Structure 1
Amino acid sequence: MTDHADRPRDHLDGADPGIVRRAVETRDPLPGTAGFAGELDGRLVRDVLGRRPLFVDGDAWAFDPTELADPVSVPAGSVRPLEAVADSDSDADEPHWMLPAVDPETDRGRALDAVREAVLDRTGAVADSGDGPSDGSVAVAFSGGVDSAVVAAGVPEAPCYVAGFEGCHDVAAAREAAAAMDRDLGVVEITHDDIRERIPDLVAATGRTNPMDLPIALPLFLVGERAAADGFDRLALGQGADELFGGYAKVAKAPDDPRVDADTIRGARRELLGTIPDQAERDVLALRAAGVEPVTPLLHDDVVAAALSLPGHLIADGDERKLALREAARGIVPESVRTADKKAVQYGTYVARELDRLARQAGFKRRMDDHVERYVRTLVDGSGPDPEGPS
């Protein structure tokens, strides 16, 4: 925790103070970093995509919410004077940075070349610590999809790890992809005991109890723990690829999908980019609790800038998604991996299914409101199941 009485003048996570200072002065939302947060020149700052967590409580702030009694997340894109930290009526959280509205690149070749160059540069920089701390070694969270495969290709000596229940899609896909890429793969088999015993740790670290966040965070957390136990202090991830490059069906189906408000594929993609701060906060907190620092090269400003210039038909076209990223991966990963479909992590690992199963076995039936979250709360407080008790 850092308060006004005891703090370094500049205490930034993720980027050089000089770069961030220039970004504040010029209002440049994509100054060439992989995200940043912290204190700079008497102000709290958090990058435009919220890739690094930052919390406040009264006149105190912290990177870790467990250091504060009542933490509130600082909005992405903020530049907040410290004297306004405790002022709940302040307008200091009006975004200082917003993602630029970029016209689509009309030349297909130039658009694809820009994405390929940015992706290869940033994934290649992971090994020499260009997107992470300058010390220690790196492992890769690997699910067998194109996102994590491209990241793994950038660090060819790094071991890969996957987590999931026995027989799940993600483990099978990761094994096939690792064999095709001739990569070492560590498999973390998730069990019901892992759900019962580790969910409280995740809730403590992230503050999340909902049945969407936890099945996403648990496989990451367990992979991070295994990598840390094996001596690695950084974990490279493919996070951000679905949001940037159109990995969701609701983006591909815009404007016909009711889950998005936008009437174009590019507009729907921009809506999804707005979910990154909340997702990044969850993932970073979970992985730090596991003992590793996340490295997300596909969320680097250079990749974001290239992706923002894509026309809609290079984001999604019919049933094809992430077209530009798959083109960038051509010749970098095996064709079977480049074109592979992948399930969302909570489903591909079976964690969502098995968490629901445990809740029902404990008496929390699906007809009950929030039956899984109510079960999670019993795991956290150790009270044991009381499905008929108050929600």
Structure 2
Amino acid sequence: MCRIYGHMGGGALPEDLRLTGAALRHGGPDGHYLDEGGGWALGATRLAVMAPDQGAQPYRHGPVRVVFNGEIYNHRALRAQLARDGYHIADRCDGAVLPALYHRYGLSFTEHLDGMYALAVLDLRAEPKLVLSVDESGVKPLYYHRDRQGGLSFASEPGALGILCGAGARLRPEALDTYLTTKTPLGPRTVFTDITAMEPAETLVVTPGRPPRPYRRRAPAVPALPAGSLTEAADGLRSLLRAETGRLAVADAPVAAVLSGGLDSSLVTGLLAREIPGVHCFHIRYRGSWPADESGHARTAARAFGARLHEVVLDPARIPEELPRTVRALGQPNADPITVSTLALFRAVREAGFTVALTGDAADELFGGYDRTRAAVTAEGDWAGDYVRALAAVPPALRAALYHPEYRALLRGTTTAEQELLRRLRGRDGDRLAALTEIETGLRMPAYHLRRVDHLSMAGAVEVRPPFCQRSVTGAARQLPDHLKVHGGVGKRVLQEAARGLVPESVRTRVKQPFTLPVAAMLTPGTPLFDYAREVLAPSELRLSAPELDPAAVARLLDRQAAAPDATSALAVWSLLVFELWRREAGRPLPGRAPARHGTAIRYGTSGAVRAERAA
């Protein structure tokens, strides 16, 4: 597991490369590698998980070099296959097979990979080229910037691109509205005008003097689960998850589990306990008494599995201290309140001596576990609109009320995130669950969920392995009939049945609740978090840094939450707090557009007025 970075034709100076590697050291404290030549560079920082005494990057085979972040779970089979083809690979690390595999199969080499990865191949043969690729689920993110001279720089985190090539100085004009609509930017667009996130199953080919050539790989063919009945499908899914959890338990570093107390993480922990008796598992709770505390369920599950439970206790009084660190680690703003406790959890995992943690991430997206999905499947009215509104951090009417009038005017001339999502769903009445799953797994899961987990776990130097993101599981879920996933208002039917006999009944059958920070209860007058929100979102601060917002409207929102606390206004306050803290951590980037066709850039002034300036 590593952080990677580099460029082809990007013109980074040696000092830029050195500083970029230093900025990514948190995700790779066990080694730092850099290789550079005429017009190119490849760098990596390493978190040693497999073959810790080897694994130096870039991996090489003749003129082919590779830097790699992730895990290739079928590397032993690939190594044997390549040996039969005449390739000798002395390095035992899983990523060491990648250069030979690319040399053997060219751009189709990713079809042979089973794992999670973000990688960069530098092919220095007849026509030098750079090949970037990410796994089918988007577990491991990769970001890139293309400069005006045609050079391309890439990195595992967007902040690193600011050091490497100066990218990320300007926000997209619609960035705040997108964030409040979907809790983080979805798809390839980031909050920045000049940084792009690679999409799941995407490969990007870069050759000097030509535009990059992106293409999305087709989903690999995997066996379908037997689906004659719920019981039959559940038995097949249980066997599949048992096999995948067993494969993901293999590491040359200590392995643990994250246990929220819900169905998904409990099932993964229970299966892992069969591979590692007495497995250590980690659960976070908050000091004091708070709504939706799941620690009792986590204890029940851990006892049933014979697991050793570590309860990580976060003091809510420390959240104002922890939040700036969290938003810095995220790379982009993310409105999920769980972020602050997630970072604390992974730091505790690492401090306890564990490098790898298995999680239950992605089960809800694959099997229809969210309330909004179940409601949309059976709704008779505006199911698409209700679903999109349920994704938001702030409801549409409240968003509009918080905006500066000129920002509202700008958005009227923009295709908003809400409009884009509705366009994807309209006309899909006949296959609602398929349409919703496409958004959940193809857009929201990689951007909102997996990037968050990746950035926060790697900030703590922990490798997260999610069995539900294995291609065999995602492919099997994709082929299951809808009624085995959602039926009669019940979601994850097949997964609940697969957990029967493995997970305690009180955990298996309990009503789903979000694994999150009880922000509505913590954002009340007299709490440190509320006082901190008042300070950060003060009108004097917003006038300087947030031209999109009406400071008086934000003040009214805080007054409303103080007078009558509720979940809607609390999440709105939290979301604005996170965005403004993130803006500070990112160096206060202002909304702006890349140079327009006639050399004009749109920029907000600190007064909130929109003005046109000549682009540099």
TM-score interval (norm. to shorter): 0.7 to 0.9
**Alpha-carbon distance between aligned partners in 2 of 1:27 and 1:179, rounded to the nearest angstrom:** 41
Shift of 1:360: 4.1
**In the TM superposition, what whole-angstrom CA distance separates every residue of 1:157-197 from its partner, at most 9, and x where no partner exists?**
32111112233422232223323434322112222343211
Decide whether aligned partners of structure 1 residues 24 and 243 sit closer, same or farther in structure 2, where only a CA change above 3 A counts. Answer: farther
**Alpha-carbon distance between aligned partners in 2 of 1:356 and 1:316, rounded to the nearest angstrom:** 37
**In the TM superposition, what whole-angstrom CA distance separates every residue of 1:243-300 from its partner, at most 9, and x where no partner exists?**
0111112222215243163533343223211212112111101110012111111111
Aligned partner of 1:93 in structure 2 is 214
Consecutive aligned runs of 4 or more in structure 1 exceeding 6 Å deviation: 18-21, 99-105
What does 1:374-389 correspond to in 2, within 5 Å? 374-376=576-578, 379=581, 381=584
Decide whether aligned partners of structure 1 residues 137 and 91 sit closer, same or farther in structure 2, where only a CA change above 3 A counts. Answer: same
Q: Does the alignment pair 1:150 with 2:233?
A: no
Q: Say which of 90, 96, 108 aligns to 1:25.
A: 108
Are the counterparts in 2 of residues 195 and 355 from structure 1 also a CA contact under 8 Å?
no
Aligned partner of 2:119 in structure 1 is 38
**Alpha-carbon distance between aligned partners in 1 of 2:107 and 2:369, rounded to the nearest angstrom:** 32
Shift of 1:231: 0.5
**Alpha-carbon distance between aligned partners in 2 of 1:49 and 1:209, rounded to the nearest angstrom:** 21
Shift of 1:23: 9.7
Q: Say which of 266, 269, 283 aligns to 2:437.
A: 269
Q: Which runs of 5+ in 1 are unaligned?
A: 130-134, 384-388
Q: Using the TM superposition, name which of 5-14 and 270-279 deviates more.
A: 5-14
**In the TM superposition, what whole-angstrom CA distance separates every residue of 1:50-107 from its partner, at most 9, and x where no partner exists?**
11111113322122333211243222221111237x97xx473342345889999652
Decide whether aligned partners of structure 1 residues 352 and 12 sit closer, same or farther in structure 2, where only a CA change above 3 A counts. Answer: farther
**Structure 1 or 2: more strand by fraction:** 2
Alpha-carbon RMSD: 3.3
**Alpha-carbon distance between aligned partners in 2 of 1:120 and 1:19, rounded to the nearest angstrom:** 28
Q: Does the alignment pair 1:291 with 2:413?
A: no
**SS at 2:216 equivalent:** coil
Decide whether aligned partners of structure 1 residues 175 and 106 sit closer, same or farther in structure 2, where only a CA change above 3 A counts. Answer: closer
**Alpha-carbon distance between aligned partners in 1 of 2:298 and 2:607, rounded to the nearest angstrom:** 42
Q: Which runs of 5+ in 2 are unaligned?
A: 9-39, 43-57, 59-64, 73-94, 124-129, 147-151, 168-194, 389-424, 538-554, 559-568, 588-605, 609-616
Give the aligned residue type for 2:436: A
**Alpha-carbon distance between aligned partners in 2 of 1:50 and 1:196, rounded to the nearest angstrom:** 31
Q: Does the alignment pair 1:161 with 2:282?
A: yes
Are the counterparts in 1 of residues 360 and 466 from structure 2 also a CA contact under 8 Å?
yes
Give the aligned residue type for 1:92: R
**Alpha-carbon distance between aligned partners in 2 of 1:19 and 1:244, rounded to the nearest angstrom:** 30
Shift of 1:121: 0.8
Decide whether aligned partners of structure 1 residues 32 and 293 sit closer, same or farther in structure 2, where only a CA change above 3 A counts. Answer: same
**In the TM superposition, what whole-angstrom CA distance separates every residue of 1:323-364 from its partner, at most 9, and x where no partner exists?**
111122122222222222331122xx4246525775643435
**SS at 1:316 equivalent:** coil
**In the TM superposition, what whole-angstrom CA distance separates every residue of 1:11-39 from its partner, at most 9, and x where no partner exists?**
222335267886952885xx562322111
**SS at 1:36 equivalent:** strand
Aligned partner of 1:197 in structure 2 is 321
Decide whether aligned partners of structure 1 residues 158 and 375 sit closer, same or farther in structure 2, where only a CA change above 3 A counts. Answer: same
Q: Using the TM superposition, name which of 139-148 and 176-185 deviates more.
A: 176-185
Decide whether aligned partners of structure 1 residues 23 and 313 sit closer, same or farther in structure 2, where only a CA change above 3 A counts. Answer: farther
**Alpha-carbon distance between aligned partners in 2 of 1:250 and 1:124, rounded to the nearest angstrom:** 32
Give the aligned residue type for 1:57: H
Aligned partner of 1:305 in structure 2 is 475
**Alpha-carbon distance between aligned partners in 1 of 2:106 and 2:454, rounded to the nearest angstrom:** 23
**Alpha-carbon distance between aligned partners in 2 of 1:303 and 1:96, rounded to the nearest angstrom:** 18
Give the aligned residue type for 2:433: I
Are the counterparts in 1 of residues 258 and 358 from structure 2 also a CA contact under 8 Å?
yes
Aligned partner of 1:6 in structure 2 is 41
What does 1:46-65 correspond to in 2, within 5 Å? 46-58=134-146, 59-65=152-158
**Alpha-carbon distance between aligned partners in 2 of 1:328 and 1:379, rounded to the nearest angstrom:** 42
What does 1:142-291 correspond to in 2, within 5 Å? 142-156=259-273, 157-165=278-286, 166-168=288-290, 169-212=293-336, 215-253=337-375, 254-256=377-379, 257=383, 258-259=386-387, 261=425, 262-263=428-429, 264-274=432-442, 275-278=444-447, 279-291=449-461
Q: How many residues align?
A: 372
Are the counterparts in 2 of residues 140 and 161 from structure 1 also a CA contact under 8 Å?
yes
**Alpha-carbon distance between aligned partners in 1 of 2:523 and 2:212, rounded to the nearest angstrom:** 41
**SS at 2:459 equivalent:** helix
**Alpha-carbon distance between aligned partners in 2 of 1:99 and 1:167, rounded to the nearest angstrom:** 47
Decide whether aligned partners of structure 1 residues 323 and 47 sit closer, same or farther in structure 2, where only a CA change above 3 A counts. Answer: same
**Alpha-carbon distance between aligned partners in 2 of 1:91 and 1:57, rounded to the nearest angstrom:** 11
Aligned partner of 2:487 in structure 1 is 317
